Structure 1
């Protein structure tokens, strides 16, 4: 990925219906776009991002709006650093939310252990929750174009959650005499 070139999408859509504007915003945030201001966002220049932004550009036009897609280069190194810092800050925010959910997961399993609630149904429910965490972290990683500082912490927290579930599973199996 070229760390010095970005694709810039500037768009304007009619104010109503609001749902259309929200859908565009969600789509762009889902791609990992950083907003420089209202209706102006950017992504690192890649063929995939170009293709996806052209689709968004068509969506804007179909919604009765206007869009311009440009390639941008920083005028100086400091500008490049500002942009990458914005990308990293957005991902760190996502990693922080992920880490909070890991805490919630561990508290939920600890509550089951404290209550000696060792059922297969609870194990299955916690396994589903862990799979959601795994998928969520993978989505964040795909949008972490510049290596946000909290990425390693998030990966460590996921490993801790996996270990907590492994321990709980062992307890469930022991409670049902399956490890003997």
Structure 2
């Protein structure tokens, strides 16, 4: 009798974005292409882009799908396993090749900047080079966030940039102000999508820490939910408080609530960089906090538990930035 081999590796699941864009305006096509690059998707066919399947990548594709449809295009997202044609290994190699190309470009810039640092003695020029090193670190974080399978070029890029940083002293000061009291959002029932991750966990923390300590938060399906009277939807399609332009829901909620505490701003930047993966703020803390939140999500299926486990992370961040003043 033939025995079934149970030792076979688990199949890789993929998310596929299949889309069609309008021919005009041209800038919209460029915008969507840049967004695809920013979330790390690779083309497996002309209008078919892939990402490894998980909660974060699904959310990335869902937001992009919404953007495409609002711009007059057509799109759908599906989960798939590869049966014939491309193998899982071949698709992984597409991701690795794309990231290694990014790392190689970064390595060239780092080497050129290293030569400039050795040659310069002027204080003004050193300050300018310091800014360029921070830009390289920001770019490395952007690439690492979408390096799903561990491309080989990361170690070399990390080593070079760490060496540059070791030669540069940075001094950054921020003024501290007291947070404004918030009363206009008290007593509302807050509603968000099930399967909370960084943006929604951060929003829930902000609501209960600064807006309404007794706030009720409900978790509902992401699609088809009809809000009841008195409810506020956050980080949901067509929600009252959700992504606006290139701002994540946490940033929008900060503005809507009128919170001006300077210690909350770097937290907003960290949440933005983790959630949108565009490296807009280049917060060096984003990678570590992103891993912590991902661990919380993996260990807890219940949304209230995710918020309960994730909130102390933001409590500690808040205290850190109040103490650090920047």
Shorter-chain TM range is 0.7 to 0.9
Which of 122, 125, 128 is 1:118 aligned to? 122
Counterparts in 2 of 1:161 and 1:145: CA distance versus 1, 3 Å? same
Which of 16, 29, 38 is 1:8 aligned to? 16
Q: 2: CA distance between counterparts of 1:34 and 1:108?
A: 35
Offset of 1:3 from its aligned partner?
7.2
Which of 147, 164, 176 is 1:144 aligned to? 147
Counterparts in 2 of 1:3 and 1:24: CA distance versus 1, 3 Å? farther
Counterparts in 2 of 1:3 and 1:34: CA distance versus 1, 3 Å? farther
What does the per-residue CA deviation read over 1:151-170, in whole Å, with 9 as the maximum and x for residues that have no partner? 1111111123234x34xx7x
Q: 2: CA distance between counterparts of 1:79 and 1:126?
A: 44
Instruction: Give runs of aligned pairs for residues 51-130 of structure 1, distance below 5 A.
Output: 51-75=59-83, 79-112=87-120, 117-119=121-123, 121-130=124-133
Structure 1, unaligned stretches of length 5 or more?
170-180
What does the per-residue CA deviation read over 1:86-128, in whole Å, with 9 as the maximum and x for residues that have no partner? 000000000001001101211222331xxxx332x22221211
Alignment RMSD (CA, Å): 2.0
What does the per-residue CA deviation read over 1:52-106, in whole Å, with 9 as the maximum and x for residues that have no partner? 2111111111122111211011227x70000000000000000001001101211
Asked whether the 8 Å contact 1:11–1:68 carries over to 2, the reply is yes
Higher relative contact order (CA 8 A, sep 6+): 1
Q: Name the residue aligned to 2:178.
A: none
TM value normalised by structure 1: 0.82
Q: Name the residue aligned to 2:26.
A: 18
